[in-house]
A and B are shown apart, each in its own frame.
Chain A
Amino acid sequence: MSDNGHPLFEVQNLKVAIDGNEILRGVDLTINEGEIHAIMGRNGSGKSTMAYVVMGHPHYEVLDGSVKYKGHDVLGLDTDERARLGMFLAFQYPMAIPGVTVAKFLHSALKTREESGEVAVREFRTNLNKAMSLLGVDSSFASRYVNDGFSGGEKKRLEILQMFMLEPDFCILDETDSGLDIDALKTVAEGVNAMRSEQRSMLLITHYQRVLNYVKPDVVHVMMDGKIVRTGDIELAENLEENGYEWIEEELFQNTEATGVGTAQA
């Protein structure tokens, strides 16, 4: 764990509700420049909520806490402003936009990042073709409608393709590994690894350790019931793979018994 880097992304005491139900109950998380963190946890532990809230999904209500990215108070920004500052979310369930081609979509997204509002078509095409061949997708991909009739694997590849093209500084990958066969998983992992750099940080959300065989995280967190309850290195993930989540629950329970406090922050 590299504590001495520059923090790129900081979450403090984040509490979030949807329809009156508190889903995140005080999350703290700091990711330094160049680090890859993984958040593991069961379904319903709050992992995806975390991803949505960080990106500004309108259905969630932030009750307390702060999210900082490059010193900006993220929670005060619109979703598109966050994106233009270099934040990116690879969706677990990407939306279809019928009638809009992948190429047009990406070109439009890139244009929002330019002051002139323009991106030269030829240069864009060259970059897009390069990115597509790196990800092993057919060139016809560019003229298909965004996620319209895509298979699960194609949707995930398109998310990674977008990440490639938009070159964000902070990427959240929400269960990008789920539903992929081993070949697709490898391709996606290769894409993620190719994006690794000293300036770029990533947050991998997953409930399987499998993807971490291909993308090595610097830090692994465990989320349970809306809180981060354990933080460690890759060994923590391996331990989870072998022993499941029960042992953490037991430890937490004992801790609660011992201290009378319902928290067990590592």
Chain B
Amino acid sequence: MAPETEVKNPALDINDEYKYGFSDPEKPVFKAEKGINHDVVEQISQMKSEPEWMREFRHDALDVFESKPMPNWGNTGLLNDIDFDNIYYYLKPVEKQGSTWDEVPEDIKNTFDRLGIPEAERKFLAGVSAQYESEVVYHSMQEELEKQGVIFLDMDSGLREYEDIVKEYWATIIPPADNKFAALNSAVWSGGSFVYIPKGVEVDIPLQAYFRINAENMGQFERTLIIADEGSRVHYIEGCTAPTYAADSLHSAVVEIVALPGSHMRYTTIQNWSKNVYNLVTKRAVAHENATVEWVDGNLGSKLTMKFPCVYLVGEKAHGEILSIALSGEGQHQDAGAKIYHAAPNTTSRITSKSISKGGGRASYRGMVKVYPDAIGSKVHVECDALLMDKESRSDTYPTMEIAEEQVQVEHEARVSKVGDEQLFYLMSRGLTEEEALVMVVNGFIEPFVKELPMEYAVELNRLIQLEMEGSVG
């Protein structure tokens, strides 16, 4: 049942007339020239007054980016349309980060107001980070958590204030050479979150980061590192939107998670970029003994998304879970999926992937499950469901399984279904209009995902599906 007060959550709110496609006038403090080269990388590093090792890391990463070819798989047609010379790689919107909304410039504050962030913060979040272009312009966390030793900072501040911890884990999970876009991020990264949860600390209400692109031809390259120390627990949520422009923007993030023994980490993403954004993201976690990592990944917006959240299960009895939905409409390709590597005995994993394609949209599931020798007693469960709303839309599944150990249990199920006349007739015979019936079938389809979201998000997501389905009946 719907709660009495519905909290507006913009990350979930798209429809055919994308509501968050508005933009502010640009008033940057600094904007690097278009295009990417060592000068731009040097400029970014200088402006941030970084330690020498980070400066070198960036320059090395740029060399890797330049030496790596574009991917020869996936939607190469769309990928090869990216014009790397026509993108701004660094834009500093404000001189100083605010810790209250009053310290944030009027235009930007108004934008986040329209996106409902301050309201959500008051109602149900433990901490908020708001990134605008290349920098986090607002950041705050409940005092209570600070007292418990929880660190939740933008990545740049994290590097300044906790250089030792950052250096210990930095790029250990996703090295620049992992892929071309991870290399690009490593060269020009800015913003993102640094989170550390001390031993045994359980953070009950979510921390949220919100990412907003405002400028045209913008590239946003946030970098996030989360460390959940032994026996700790945390839920981190991210959301994102951007203005609708004729020109394409590029969002290429890197997210690394370290889940130390016995910790429980959940990372929820609601991606709602405008349909001119390339969203090419690398997300990977390492789960140690008895740790659990859950990626809850919702992809609704963007032009092309390529994102395959990954968990390395390196300690005995570690558990990995990847639950995702992708909604692909006209002109969109959601190339999403999951990767799990079982590298220790008695590790377990579950992948649940759901996609909905409509109006000629395309959704792909690309999965990799690998069980290494000696990962005895491991269990794998993979479930892929695709729902096609019309004949023009498309769904593909590319599952890969490499099982090098015999004493394991592997289950894989894949289904493609169409919303059936018989289902609609049944619901309509109870009084629902065709559109209401369609919404009900679709909401039921994504229920396993929605029920994992905080209530406020779940309500919004259901409302969003309703908006998306308007006009789908014909």
Contacts and interface: CB of A to CB of B under 8 A. Distances in A.
A83 interface: yes
A58 B423 CA distance: 12
A162 B430 contact: yes
Interface centre among B1, B429, B433, B444 (most CB of A within 10 A): B429
Interface centre among A59, A95, A105 (most CB of B within 10 A): A95
A97 B440 contact: yes
Contacts of B432: 80, 108-109, 112
Contact of B431 (A57, A97, A113): A113
Nearest to A106: B430
B431 A112 contact: yes
Interface stretch (B149-157, B195-203, B445-453): B445-453
Interface size class of A (residues with CB under 8 A): 20 to 34
Interface string B1-30: 100000000000000000000000000000
B6 to A, nearest CB: 15
A192 interface: no
A191 to B, nearest CB: 17
Nearest to A145: B444
Contact of A99 (B1, B430, B448): B448
A54 to B, nearest CB: 10
Interface in A135-171: 145, 162, 166
A113 B430 CA distance: 10
Contacts of A91: 426, 429
Contacts of B446: 99
Interface in A55-82: 55-59, 78-80, 82
Contacts of A78: 428, 433-434
Interface centre among A80, A83, A91 (most CB of B within 10 A): A80
A206 B420 CA distance: 27
A109 B443 contact: no
Nearest to A107: B1
Given A100-B440, A121-B1, A94 B426 contact: yes
A84 B430 CA distance: 8
Nearest to B426: A95
Contacts, number: 80
Contact of A97 (B421, B423, B429, B433): B423
Given A58-B425, A79-B425, A97 B441 contact: yes
Given A58-B425, A59-B421, A95-B426, A100 B431 contact: no
B423 A166 contact: no
Nearest to A93: B422
B159 interface: no
Given A57-B425, A79-B425, A79-B429, A99 B445 contact: yes
A83 B423 contact: no
Query: Mostly helix, strand, loop or mixed at chain B's interface?
Result: helix
A57 B445 CA distance: 23
Given A57-B425, A79-B425, A166 B444 contact: no
B429 A83 contact: yes
Contacts of A57: 425
Nearest to A109: B430
Given A59-B421, A95-B422, A121-B1, A79 B428 contact: yes
A89 interface: yes
A98 interface: yes
B473 to A, nearest CB: 11
Contacts of B430: 83, 105, 109, 112, 162, 166
A133 B281 CA distance: 52
B79 interface: no
Contacts of A105: 427, 430, 440
Contacts of A59: 421
B428 A97 contact: no
B121 interface: no
A213 B369 CA distance: 59
A94 B445 CA distance: 18
Nearest to B430: A109
B1 A100 contact: no
Given A97-B440, A108-B440, A80 B423 contact: no
A173 to B, nearest CB: 13
A145 B440 CA distance: 12
A68 to B, nearest CB: 19
Interface in B418-474: 420-423, 425-434, 436-437, 440-441, 443-448
Contact of B444 (A55, A82, A100, A112): A100
A174 to B, nearest CB: 11
Contacts of A166: 430-431
B355 to A, nearest CB: 15
B428 A83 contact: yes
Given A58-B421, A59-B421, A95-B422, A100 B447 contact: yes
Contacts of B429: 55-56, 79-80, 82-83, 88-89, 91
30 contacts: A55-B425, A55-B429, A57-B425, A78-B428, A78-B433, A80-B434, A80-B437, A82-B429, A94-B426, A95-B420, A95-B426, A97-B426, A98-B444, A98-B447, A99-B443, A99-B444, A99-B446, A99-B447, A100-B440, A100-B441, A100-B443, A105-B430, A107-B1, A112-B430, A112-B431, A112-B436, A113-B431, A121-B1, A145-B444, A166-B430
Given A99-B443, A109-B430, A121-B1, 6 more contacts: A57-B425, A78-B433, A80-B436, A95-B426, A99-B447, A108-B436
* 4 nearest CB pairs, A to B: A99-B444, A99-B447, A112-B431, A100-B444
Interface of B: 1, 420-423, 425-434, 436-437, 440-441, 443-448
